Amino acid sequence: MERQKNKVIQIPRGNIISEGYGLGTLRVLKRKKTTEKQFINLEDIKLAAKTLSSELSKIISDPSLPKEVQEISQVHQLLLEDPFLWKKLEDASADGKIMIEDYKYIRDEIISLLLSTGNPLIQQRVDDIKDLFRNLLLESPEGLDNLKSNVVYSEEFFPSDIIKLSTLGVKALLSTQGSHTTHAAILARAFEIPYIIRLPDLSEYEGKTVFVDAVIGRIVIDPDDANIREFEKITKRYTKEKEKIEKYGRLKFDDIKIMANISVPQEIEVAKRKGADGIGLFRTEFLFVGRDNPPSEEEQYLVYKKALETFYPEEVVIRLLDIGGDKKLEYLPVDDEENPFLGLRGIRLLLKHKEILKTQLRALLRASPYGNLSVLVPMVTLPEDIKGLLRIIHETKEDLLTEGRKIGSFKLGIMVEVPSIIWLIDKINPHIDFVSIGTNDLTQYIFAADRNNPSVSKYYQDEHEIIFEIITTIAEKARNFNLPVSVCGELAGKEDAVEILLQFGVKKFSVSSFKVPFIKRKIYEIQTVKKGNMKAKTSDDPSLLS
């Protein structure tokens, strides 16, 4: 007998970290707990370290594992072998025992030291330190067998959690905390486990059937039998398609580019592997967050250089720091604003804090000799924003040339996300080389609706006819000025929307790396149906695409 249709449990949509679908029983990841006054034997810590080191060595030497997994495991191995760590533990021990309170103090002291070094990936390293100390304390997850082939919720996931869970065939991961740039997030994408963050506490739903749609961020709890059958079909179809679809990443179209969005350097290789035709949006925020001071010019230069080298001669679009709104920096004080999304953010903030902007521009200009650099300016509202930026670019160029630095050519473009730009492109046109339509923020500003706020989610409609009309207007105006147009944001990764956007003359799309082959397949199908032939070429036998 089938269950009756249940009342839908409304779970606010979270942020997608790794795409896919998952259907299973919700299980909560449980950890061993310790109290501050407990003691732990130093020998037990050393034994745990030896076991962990052996596990890491196996991972590092396993060629079947994704490259990202091996690289992150190497980081953990280096941290584990750090003599500074062991000296601190020895000094804190008395009669071979360490109080948990002291143990955690050492952890926090090392984290503070890391935060003061200026490491551009410091937030990831902090998570690694927390993960390492947790494992040495034997606070690893309990009851792992109970998690097999299910959907797993935890307040927060650590890198070692993801590695363990990947061996259990978990269907999806859900968490309250997390970010796109942590090692846990990178590993989830590497293992291709669907993962959504920024969710409310889901512990109360443990034991219930849950469907995770990590393509649009939807979660359905306790669906009825009819829905379960529907979800099973969706999941099977997606899995089957995914197995066949990778070959489409090799497609190269004559006049269309499917590029990748990048949030951390580790995603560069993934994008390359998936067949991206360059980087359409390289977010630089990861360099600036989770630290006490801004990244140096040299740190930034090395990161930008790697991206440009890896994708040469394909275009790499690097966005200037986009901070403000919901993102703040400890070392960049900003007055509290009633509405930060309408306040000091993007280029507005950079023009106020020119020292941050100049350092980033110096690093970018130093990397420009590779010839495939494009610089993207966020939150442009008025022509004065670009004019002010151009003055600083000119000053920065002069400084570098005076120092004897080599500077190459690069393109300058703007994010179209503030509605005013729709009517001001003709005034900004003389100063720029391309435009990139950021559909996420553009939709928020058009409908005055925060896409992460469930109370107004019905107003956030990025496929509404108004949005397509706006994109058409922008594309037509840009075409009149010979400005290339690209679309980034969630809309660019929706196959049905891509077909419409192609009709508007959009030739560049920037999507998450894992969507690259899906979008290429869609374009291949459109061209094949419409023209009866394949206006694409592959490096392999075209028959593979039949």
Residues labelled catalytic = 183, 488
**What backbone phi and psi angles, to 5 degrees, belong to 5?**
-60, 125
| Assigned token pair, 195 | 């993962």
490 is annotated as contributing to ligand binding:
no
At 98 the three-state DSSP class reads strand
| Assigned token pair, 346 | 């993007």
319 is annotated as contributing to ligand binding:
yes
3 is annotated as contributing to ligand binding:
no
| Assigned token pair, 505 | 């003359």
| Assigned token pair, 307 | 């991206």
What residues contact residue 177 under an 8 Å CB cut-off, 6+ apart? 155, 156, 197, 198
Position of tokens 């249940």? 6
Identify the bridge partners of residue 98 per DSSP, sorted by sequence position: 40
| Assigned token pair, 54 | 């052996």
Q: Which amino acid is at 316?
A: V
| Assigned token pair, 354 | 């020119």
Select from 462, 520, 529 the least CA-distant residue to 491.
462
How is 114-167 classified by DSSP, letter by letter?
Answer: HHTTT-TTHHHHHHHHHHHHHHHTT--EE-GGGGTTSEEEES---HHHHHHHHT
Select from 515, 402, 23 the least CA-distant residue to 222.
23
23: number of Cβ within 10 Å: 22
Residue ranges in 323-463 assigned as alpha helix (H): 347-352, 354-367, 383-402, 421-428, 439-447
291 is annotated as contributing to ligand binding:
no
451 is annotated as contributing to ligand binding:
yes
At 338 the three-state DSSP class reads coil
At 30 the three-state DSSP class reads strand
Gap between the Cα atoms of 23 and 103, Å rounded: 40
**What backbone phi and psi angles, to 5 degrees, belong to 362?**
-60, -45
Asked if 23 and 211 touch (Cβ cutoff 8 Å), the reply is: yes
15 is annotated as contributing to ligand binding:
no
Burial class (CB in 10 A: 0-12, 13-18, 19+), 448: exposed
Gap between the Cα atoms of 80 and 465, Å rounded: 55
For the chain, how big is the Rg over CA atoms in Å? 25
Select from 412, 474, 410 the least CA-distant residue to 442.
474
Q: Which residues line the annotated binding site for Mg(2+)?
A: 417, 441
Q: Which residues line the annotated binding site for phosphoenolpyruvate?
A: 283, 319, 440-441, 451
Q: Which residues line the annotated binding site?
A: 283, 319, 417, 440-441, 451
